[in-house]
Amino acid sequence: MSDAIEGVLYVVATPIGNLDDLSPRAARLLGEVDLVAAEDTRHTSRLLRHLGIAPSTLSLHEHNEAARVDQIDARLAAGQSVALVSDAGTPLISDPGFVLVRELRARGRRVVPVPGACALVAALSAAGLPTDRFLFQGFLPAKGGGRRGRLEALAEREETLVFYESPHRIRDTLADLAAVLGARRVVLARELTKTFETFLEGSAEALLARLAEDPDQARGEFVVMVAGAQPKAGGDASIIEADALLKAMLAEGVGVKQAAAVTARTLGGAKKIWYARAQSLKDGD
């Protein structure tokens, strides 16, 4: 039975390089829908020709997205199905589509995701950096002052930081990463799923030197991943200091909850961490 239900907007992920990464479901739906709304119809037409299909297409990009909402909504109201695609990867992820999806959902229209390729997820899966928590920031500001300001605001975040970057600004971004975040581990994923896919890792300064030695490594689109900051509390030194403080308060009859709160205010870190530590010390005593 076909997935193409009347009045549905399908948000369809398309390949970021290797055309074989398009899912069978996505390929089928692109051939079934009444309209494909594409970030760049010329770019998407190459994918459609590869699939041997020729659906009607409509451009939908950052400059005309708001103006397209009523037009696409009218299609859905008439019982037609529409596929939203970007040039590569999952729409809305640093690509157009948010305004359309938000407005259509507000109007009660059905929006269905058709998952597939996403550059940031693909990069993280092979980078060897922690992935239990990460913070995706899309593209950093183009100008140096804004870029450094954003990095300074993120300097104490403990999650793996993930950015997209263009070949025109990758060197400037690495220079700012070195200046603001120092010698943290950085992984560059370049040209994912394409012929010249590479992963480079090291400090930002070392990667700058690598790009200077081999300018070809500065070509293509990048996912930049940076190790998060070290926790303010929880290291060996912090634990020793916290234990001493907690033991002193517990010995004076201070309750576990209050001791945890005082330790959090004094040394930083979450109260629940120090509560568990205080409780452990109390039980051990």
Of the candidates 48, 119, 49, the residue with the CA atom closest to the CA atom of residue 89:
119
Q: Which residues pair with 188 in a beta bridge?
A: 200, 224
Could you read off the pLDDT of 3-62 as tens digits, one per residue?
Answer: 555 699 999 999 999 999 999 999 999 999 999 999 999 999 999 999 999 999 999 999
Instruction: Say yes or no to pLDDT of 275 above 50.
Output: yes
Could you read off the pLDDT of 175-224 as tens digits, one per residue?
Answer: 999 999 999 999 999 999 999 999 999 999 999 999 999 999 999 999 99
Q: What local confidence, expressed as pLDDT, does residue 20 receive?
A: 95
Contacts of 58 (CB under 8 A, 6+ apart): 35, 36, 37, 38, 41, 68, 71, 72
Could you read off the pLDDT of 236-261 as tens digits, one per residue?
Answer: 556 777 888 899 999 889 999 999 88
Helices vs strands, H then E, count in the chain: 11, 10
Tell me how crowded residue 159 is: count the other CB atoms within 10 A of its CB.
18
Q: What local confidence, expressed as pLDDT, does residue 242 receive?
A: 81
Name the residue ranges covered by the structural domains of the chain. 8-117, 120-226, 236-284
Could you read off the pLDDT of 78-107 as tens digits, one per residue?
Answer: 999 999 999 999 999 999 999 999 999 999
Contacts of 214 (CB under 8 A, 6+ apart): none
Backbone angles phi, psi at 80, to 5 degrees: -90, 160
Q: What local confidence, expressed as pLDDT, does residue 273 receive?
A: 78
What pTM was computed for the model?
0.79
Give me 170's structure tokens: 């990758």
Contact 43, 95 (CB under 8 A): no
Q: CA geometry: angle at 268 spanning 267 and 272, to 5°?
A: 110
Identical fold, 8-117 and 120-226: no
Residue 175 burial by Cβ neighbours in a 10 Å radius (0-12, 13-18, 19+): middle
Please provide the average confidence, as pLDDT, over all residues in the chain: 92
pLDDT band with cut points at 50, 70 and 90 for residue 274: confident
Q: What local confidence, expressed as pLDDT, does residue 106 receive?
A: 97
Backbone angles phi, psi at 134, to 5 degrees: -145, 160
Give me 72's structure tokens: 């696409």
CATH 3.30.950.10 corresponds to the domain 120-226: yes
Residue in this structure with the two tokens 């549905």, named with its chain if needed: 8
Backbone angles phi, psi at 32, to 5 degrees: -100, -30
Q: CA geometry: angle at 100 spanning 98 and 101, to 5°?
A: 65
What is d(CA 60, CA 229) in angstroms, rounded to the nearest whole number?
38
Q: What local confidence, expressed as pLDDT, does residue 232 receive?
A: 65
Contacts of 35 (CB under 8 A, 6+ apart): 55, 56, 57, 58, 72, 75, 80, 81, 82, 83
What is d(CA 115, CA 12) in angstroms, rounded to the nearest whole number?
6
Residue 97 burial by Cβ neighbours in a 10 Å radius (0-12, 13-18, 19+): buried
Of the candidates 43, 49, 17, 16, the residue with the CA atom closest to the CA atom of residue 30:
49
Q: What local confidence, expressed as pLDDT, does residue 243 receive?
A: 85
Instruction: Say yes or no to pLDDT of 1 above 50.
Output: no
Q: What local confidence, expressed as pLDDT, does residue 240 receive?
A: 76
CATH pick for 8-117 out of 3.40.1010.10, 1.10.530.10, 3.40.50.720, 1.20.1740.10: 3.40.1010.10
Instruction: Say yes or no to pLDDT of 111 above 50.
Output: yes
Contact 11, 116 (CB under 8 A): no
Could you read off the pLDDT of 159-171 as tens digits, one per residue?
Answer: 999 999 999 999 9
Q: What local confidence, expressed as pLDDT, does residue 233 receive?
A: 53
The whole-angstrom distance between residue 250's C-alpha and the CA centroid of its chain comes to 44
